[in-house]
Amino acid sequence: MKIIICIFMAADHLAAVFPQTFPLWFRMVGRFSFVGFAFLVAEGCRKTGNIENYIFRLGLLAAVSEIFYDFCFGYGLSFTHNMNTVWTLFAGAAVIYCLTKVAGKILPLIYACCIIVSCLFLDVDYGVCGVLLIVMYYFCRSNIEIFISTALMFTIKYIRLIYPFSVYTIYWLFSVTACILPILYNNSRGKNIKYFFYVFYPLHLFIIGIFRLLGEFI
C-alpha cells in the first residue's frame, strides 16, 4: 500500500507543478494517496510499540519536508501557511495520542481540541477534515465504518463545491472512493520498508522542485 500511494502522490505533485504537461487525472488519483496515508498513520498508532517515538518521527519529517515542499511548489519558506501533508498526519497522530494516552476525561479533549484548532490557523493540507479522518480511522473496526468516515469527512470538506458540477465534484468523488484502499487492507505486513516514506517524501519533492527550476530557465 505504501508504494502504491507514494506513486499516486508523486503523480499528483507532478500535475500540480506542471499542469500543462501532465493530465488532470494525475491530480485525481492523488486523492487516493492522502486517504491511504491517513489510514496507515491510524494503523501505525494502533500497532506501534512506542507511539511517542512514532509521533516524534512524523513531526521531524514534517519539519524537514516543509523546506522541500515549499521549494517544490515555489512557495516562500513558511511554517504558518501552505503546510505539507505530513503536518496533517502528525496532527492526527497527536490527537489520537491525547485521546488514548492522556489521563482524565476532560484534559484529553482539551488537548485534542487545541491541536485541531491550531490546524485551522496553520493551514495544514486537507485541514481539520484530514486530521479528523485519521482519528476516525483509528477507531474504525469495520469496512462500513471506514466508508462512512471517508464519505462524511470529504463531503464536509467539499460541501460548498460539490454542486454545481465542477472539478471539485470530481475531487470529492475520487476522495470518497479512495476508501477502497483501506477496505482492501488485509491487516498483514508487507515488505519491510519501514522508513521508505521518510526518505521518499522529501526526496521526490526535491526532484520535482529541481525540474521546476530547470523549466523556468529553459
Q: List the chain domain ranges.
A: 2-217
Question: Is the Cα torsion angle 80, 86, 92, 97 positive or negative in sign?
Answer: negative
- Examine the pLDDT at 202 and tell me if it is beyond 90: yes
- Over residues 93-118, the pLDDT tens digits come to 999 999 999 988 899 999 999 999 99
Question: Nearest Cα to 92, choosing from 53, 135, 61?
Answer: 135
pLDDT-based confidence at 53, cuts 50/70/90? very high
The Cα 140–Cα 133 span in angstroms is: 10
Question: Nearest Cα to 126, choosing from 4, 3, 9?
Answer: 9
- Over residues 80-93, the pLDDT tens digits come to 778 999 999 999 99
**Coil vs helix vs strand at 153:** helix
Residue pair 35/175 in contact by the 8 Å Cβ criterion: yes
The Cα 100–Cα 107 span in angstroms is: 11
The Cα 96–Cα 99 span in angstroms is: 5
- Interacting residues of 121 by C-beta distance below 8 A, sequence separation 6+: 80
Question: Is the Cα torsion angle 14, 132, 90, 42 positive or negative in sign?
Answer: negative
**Coil vs helix vs strand at 124:** strand
Count of residues in the chain: 218
- Interacting residues of 147 by C-beta distance below 8 A, sequence separation 6+: 179, 183
The Cα 65–Cα 188 span in angstroms is: 29
What pLDDT score was predicted for residue 218?
Answer: 63
Phi–psi pair at 142, nearest 5 degrees: -145, 160
75 DSSP assignment: P
What pLDDT score was predicted for residue 80?
Answer: 73
What pLDDT score was predicted for residue 190?
Answer: 65
Question: Nearest Cα to 16, choosing from 79, 80, 66, 75?
Answer: 75
